[in-house]
């Protein structure tokens, strides 16, 4: 079968690899669509690494240095059709059923899993890459698609779950003013969900004109080009000088993570959604957050958000976000992602 292979640092190729067969406890899926996540190019260049859980570390950390050695199949956002079920699988899944997949498989037995915090699982495992014609998954990582959700839409499940969890962490109230830095897939998904969650006014900041235009098309009240406009000044005018009730940072730029604190309303909430360079700080005096009673949240991918996101997919306007490339044109797709004008690029085997 064809697959997108991370060969070595800085090198990906489309190669012919053996078609996988499911273990007795796995389900084999014919991949329908696989999305390029913002983390995928970072992994290729060596900026994102998954570390073992030691010395109190949990989940994904980011630091300079090589990623896990290749070769390996890329990708983790995907949907597809079940083609084979292992003999030991006990579930209601059926051959021919359309599903979306999550790469993470919590152990269900550690301290965090048993206390309702599966996103902090100490022993979670990841499934093989999804940028291929077929993949094999544990049943717990598969989510049946409703009849009104296509395979193309279903491939948004994983990023949509991040957006849902981010909005949940913001504890939004009806009528809140919202700022989102970054008009990529996560930023625009958060915007659509925030609007459906009662946001009264939403501003999106992004330097790329195509993404600002799309944000307005999908419901933003205002957009900002941070390279040409002063975000602080525009925000003061937008909020009548009070600041934002809720802000989401999705770019991974530390300067923006800091700036959102300065743009927060008294008793406001800042949600850092992106992955940031390890061992850095944002340099805001603690007295500032204390006197304004600002709440700061981060977002770790949550398995519980998958179910909520699945129910939201049919409600979201995802077609304008989507650009599809054949799997065989994966290198062109990664170049297009690097150019930054497309929001969510999908590979179709």
pLDDT in tens, 175-230: 999 999 999 999 999 999 999 999 999 999 999 999 999 999 999 999 999 999 99
Question: How many structural domains are present in the chain?
Answer: 2
**Closest CA relative to residue 4, chosen from 128, 102, 100:** 128
Measure the CA–CA gap between 68 and 65, rounded to whole angstroms.
10
Pairing verdict, β 295-298 and 264-272? parallel
Tokens, residue 181: 């830095």
Report yes or no: 139 and 93 within 8 Å, Cβ to Cβ: yes
In a domain, 93, yes or no: yes
Report yes or no: 82 and 29 within 8 Å, Cβ to Cβ: yes
Element (H, E) at 295: strand 295-298
Measure the CA–CA gap between 243 and 254, rounded to whole angstroms.
19
In a shared domain, residues 89 and 64 = yes
In a shared domain, residues 204 and 141 = no
Residue with tokens 């944000």: 215
In a shared domain, residues 134 and 18 = yes
pLDDT given at position 66: 45
In a shared domain, residues 232 and 335 = no
Measure the CA–CA gap between 254 and 284, rounded to whole angstroms.
12
Query: What CATH number is attached to the domain comprising 263?
Result: 3.40.50.720
| CA distances from residue 282 to 57, 261, 277 in whole angstroms, order as listed | 20, 9, 11
SS3 state of residue 263:
coil
In a domain, 309, yes or no: no
User: Which residues of the chain have a pLDDT value below 50?
Assistant: 48-67
Residue with tokens 């923006």: 256
Burial class (CB in 10 A: 0-12, 13-18, 19+), 192: buried
Q: How far is CA 181 from the centre of its chain?
A: 15
SS3 state of residue 51:
coil
Query: What CATH number is attached to the domain comprising 66?
Result: 3.90.180.10
In a domain, 313, yes or no: no
Measure the CA–CA gap between 52 and 337, rounded to whole angstroms.
29
Tokens, residue 348: 């179709």
Residue with tokens 């949600």: 271
**Closest CA relative to residue 213, chosen from 165, 204, 6:** 204
In a domain, 306, yes or no: no
In a domain, 178, yes or no: yes
Sign, CA torsion 170/173/174/175: negative
Strand-pair partners of 120: none
Q: Residue 285 belongs to what domain range?
A: 160-298
Q: What angle do CA 23, 29, 35 make, to 5 degrees?
A: 125
Cβ partners under 8 Å of residue 81, min gap 6: 29, 30, 32, 96, 97, 98, 99, 151
In a shared domain, residues 290 and 333 = no
Q: Above pLDDT 90, what percent of the chain?
A: 64
Tokens, residue 224: 């900002």
Measure the CA–CA gap between 73 and 280, rounded to whole angstroms.
31
In a shared domain, residues 181 and 241 = yes
Report yes or no: 133 and 326 within 8 Å, Cβ to Cβ: no
In a shared domain, residues 215 and 252 = yes
**DSSP class of residue 344?**
E
């Amino acid at each position: 079968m064809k697959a997108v292979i991370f060969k070595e640092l800085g090198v990906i190729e489309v190669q012919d690899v053996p078609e996988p067969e499911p273990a007795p406890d796995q389900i084999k899926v014919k991949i329908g669509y696989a999305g390029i996540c913002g983390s995928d190019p970072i992994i290729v260049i060596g900026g994102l690494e998954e570390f073992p859980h030691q010395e109190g570390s949990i989940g994904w950390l980011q630091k300079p240095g090589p990623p896990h050695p290749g070769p390996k199949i890329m990708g983790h956002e995907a949907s597809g059709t079940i083609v084979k079920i292992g003999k030991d699988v006990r579930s209601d899944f059926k051959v021919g059923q359309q599903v979306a997949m999550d790469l993470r498989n919590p152990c269900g037995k550690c301290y965090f899993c048993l206390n309702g915090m599966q996103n902090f699982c100490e022993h979670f495992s990841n499934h093989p890459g999804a940028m291929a014609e077929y993949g094999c998954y544990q049943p717990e990582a598969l989510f049946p698609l409703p009849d009104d959700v296509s395979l193309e839409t279903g491939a948004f499940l994983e990023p949509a779950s991040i957006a849902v969890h981010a909005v949940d962490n913001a504890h939004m109230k009806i009528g809140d003013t919202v700022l989102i830095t970054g008009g990529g897939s996560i930023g625009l998904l958060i915007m659509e969900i925030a609007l459906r969650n009662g946001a009264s006014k939403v501003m999106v900041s992004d330097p790329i004109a195509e993404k600002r235009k799309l944000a307005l098309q999908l419901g933003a009240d205002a957009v900002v080009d941070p390279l040409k406009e002063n975000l602080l000044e525009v925000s003061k005018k937008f909020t009548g000088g009070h600041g934002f009730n809720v802000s989401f940072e999705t770019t991974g730029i530390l300067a923006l993570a800091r700036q959102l604190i300065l743009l927060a309303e008294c008793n406001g909430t800042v949600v850092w959604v992106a992955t940031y360079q390890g061992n850095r700080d944002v340099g805001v005096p603690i007295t500032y957050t204390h006197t304004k009673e600002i709440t700061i949240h981060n977002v770790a991918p949550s398995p519980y958000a998958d179910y909520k996101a699945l129910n939201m997919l049919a409600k979201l306007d995802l077609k304008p976000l989507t650009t599809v490339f054949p799997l065989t044109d994966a290198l062109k797709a990664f170049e297009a992602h690097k150019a930054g004008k497309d929001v969510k690029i999908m590979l179709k085997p």
